[in-house]
Chains A and B, each alone.
Chain A
Amino acid sequence: MQADHPTHRIELDSATLARFMPMHLLLDSKGLALAYGPTLAQVLGAAAVPGARFEDLFEVRSPGGAVTVEEVLARGGNRFRLVPRNGVKAGLRGLGQRLGPQGGILLNLSFGIDLISAVRDLALTDADFAATDLAMELLYLAEANAAVTRELRGLNLRLEGARMAAEEEAMTDPLTGLRNRRAADLVLDRLCAARAGFGLLHMDLDYFKAVNDTLGHAAGDFVLETVGRILREQLRAEDCAARIGGDEFVVIVAGRSDPKTLQAIAGRIIARIDEPMVFEGGTARVSASIGIVRSADFAAPDATQLLASADRALYAAKHAGRGRAVLLAAGE
């Protein structure tokens, strides 16, 4: 192929060579250093002295088994990888060529993928690279990429935050700040699936309609908010209190199956709700009826069955004269 083209012999002075190949190494025919490109000299530091032996400057990574520059050229053709022996963490790629039968050897090296750490460790600048070198583009790309990745990570975090807030909103009753029906159903399903022991309280306010009718809807809302506060105060973090209808509430008391305990909790809630609620000069008086069921009373509890039983218990409580709590065992 070369025979088709005229061969030009050119002579370069070392300054021109250094400008075109700032990482070249010129060796004599025995493999002793004659001249170093200025950037390679920075890599090698104090080791870059005239007369240094190639194998003392570099460990050959490939071609495997090669140690001297002659072996590198003989086995690897003109492609090889080196690591400086002075501890600088920079893999170097290179190509080399013997200049004439008895002449010296010219190697030209470049940083591989270790470019960024080499630039950092050696504080290299734009001027240390040939204008044709793509080093600047690689450095630029690495930083631009890092910036884009950072933005994406930030976006993910912000979207995740927004998703969690939306989910929280979708599970919350805006008036009372309690959970809503959907959230209560999810909690019930989860506890039933886990065969956990818990108590379920179904509560309905007594005389609530009268408050709405005589004191107005704002007073009614105030009563609901107050009931929400009372439920939050009476319950633990692991319990779930939800408003599932106009003046209808569900309370899931996690890990409690003792009838006396559940009755006591219901009693405390009723006592607090019985207290007069002062609203803009007027006094709202409501009470509450509560039906109680225990998951332990069911062989295979499921949410629908539990809620239906709790509803029957609630009906029994209303029937028994309001302002009280009734616990129904399964089948009752």
Chain B
Amino acid sequence: MRSRLGAEIATGSDMDSLLLRSLQSYVLDTFGTASWHEVCSAAGVTVPAFEPMLRYDPGTADRIAEVAAGVLGRSVDTIWEDVGIYLVTNPDREGVRRLLRFGGTGYADFLHSLEELPGRARLAMPHLEAPELTLDEVGPDRFELRCKSPLRGLQRVLVGLLTAMADDYGALCVIEPDADGCTKITVLDRQHTEARQFHLALPEG
């Protein structure tokens, strides 16, 4: 079997690593250590810890998610959507939510800012091969988000992020992913509930 030490494998993508680490945190925090170890041993992973800053074989994230789906008894789409929601709503990962909230003052602004997201991400991680995102405003409060990525799970992670961010902004919307990597977003009410507070700068310390 190939070594699972990421440092030895330089061909993988950073996106795989980020998704793997997100999946790992989600399973650990939601289902516990035993479940994560079960997933890893079912997948033949000897060291049950993925590092976001190391690289893994391309497609590892999707492969592990398939195994996790079997172990946890839910669909792989549901798992990736939950990972997206987890990234925004988990109090320990406030950073992700904050970075996304810099996208704009309202949910529509935020949606439009998604096209800039890969560029923003590259500011901090110049080597990141962030997927290309295109947002089309197809009608009043109707959007279509397209995501080009070899990672199958990514579209569903985005669906989870969009869902959780709608809550964050207090918007009510319907989010429908289709099979071609296009996600339809219909905003029914921009101010359905009060948005969660967001301060541009974190308190010191």
- Expressed in whole angstroms, the Cα–Cα distance for A151 and B104 within the complex equals 26
- The size class of the interface chain B forms with chain A is 20 to 34
- Expressed in whole angstroms, the Cα–Cα distance for A218 and B53 within the complex equals 45
Known contacts A152-B53, A155-B54; decide if A147 and B200 are in contact (CB<8 Å): no
List the one stretch of A12-20, A115-123, A233-241, A244-252 in contact with chain B. A115-123
Give the dominant DSSP class at B's interface: loop
Does A127 sit within 8 A of B, measured CB to CB? yes
Whether the pair B95, A147 counts as a contact (CB closer than 8 A) is yes
Interface centre among A120, A126, A145 (most CB of B within 10 A): A126
On chain A, the number of residues with a Cβ less than 8 Å from chain B's Cβ atoms is: 23
Does B201 sit within 8 A of A, measured CB to CB? yes
List the one stretch of B116-124, B143-151, B163-171, B175-183 in contact with chain A. B116-124
Whether the pair B124, A141 counts as a contact (CB closer than 8 A) is yes
- Expressed in whole angstroms, the Cα–Cα distance for A35 and B105 within the complex equals 27
Whether the pair A126, B104 counts as a contact (CB closer than 8 A) is yes
Does A137 sit within 8 A of B, measured CB to CB? yes
Known contacts A151-B52, A155-B53; decide if A144 and B121 are in contact (CB<8 Å): yes
A residues in contact with B95, CB < 8 Å: 143, 147
Known contacts A127-B105, A140-B102, A147-B95; decide if A158 and B51 are in contact (CB<8 Å): yes
Whether the pair B123, A119 counts as a contact (CB closer than 8 A) is no
Whether the pair B53, A124 counts as a contact (CB closer than 8 A) is no
Whether the pair B105, A148 counts as a contact (CB closer than 8 A) is no
Known contacts A126-B104, A152-B53, A155-B51; decide if A143 and B202 are in contact (CB<8 Å): yes
**Nearest CB on B from A22, distance (A):** 14
Whether the pair A140, B204 counts as a contact (CB closer than 8 A) is no
B residues in contact with A119, CB < 8 Å: 200-201
* CB 8 Å contact bits of A84-128 with B (1 = contact, 0 = none): 000000000000000000000000000000001101100111110
Does B203 sit within 8 A of A, measured CB to CB? yes
Whether the pair A120, B123 counts as a contact (CB closer than 8 A) is no
A residues in contact with B202, CB < 8 Å: 120, 143
Q: Within B172-200, which residues are at the interface with A (CB < 8 Å)?
A: 199-200
**Nearest CB on B from A124, distance (A):** 6
Whether the pair B53, A151 counts as a contact (CB closer than 8 A) is yes
Does A74 sit within 8 A of B, measured CB to CB? no
**Nearest CB on B from A163, distance (A):** 12
Does A139 sit within 8 A of B, measured CB to CB? yes
Q: Within B98-124, which residues are at the interface with A (CB < 8 Å)?
A: 98-99, 102, 104-105, 120-121, 123-124
* CB 8 Å contact bits of A130-153 with B (1 = contact, 0 = none): 000000110111011101100110
A residues in contact with B200, CB < 8 Å: 119-120, 124-126, 136, 139
- Expressed in whole angstroms, the Cα–Cα distance for A145 and B126 within the complex equals 11
**Nearest CB on A from B23, distance (A):** 16
What 6 additional pairs, Cβ within 8 angstroms, besides A117-B201, A140-B120, A155-B52? A119-B200, A126-B105, A127-B105, A143-B98, A148-B125, A152-B53
Query: Which 6 pairs, one residue from A and one from B, show the smallest C-beta to C-beta distance?
Result: A144-B124, A120-B201, A119-B201, A140-B102, A147-B95, A119-B200
Please report A residues at the B interface, Cβ cutoff 8 Å. 116-117, 119-120, 123-127, 136-137, 139-141, 143-145, 147-148, 151-152, 155, 158
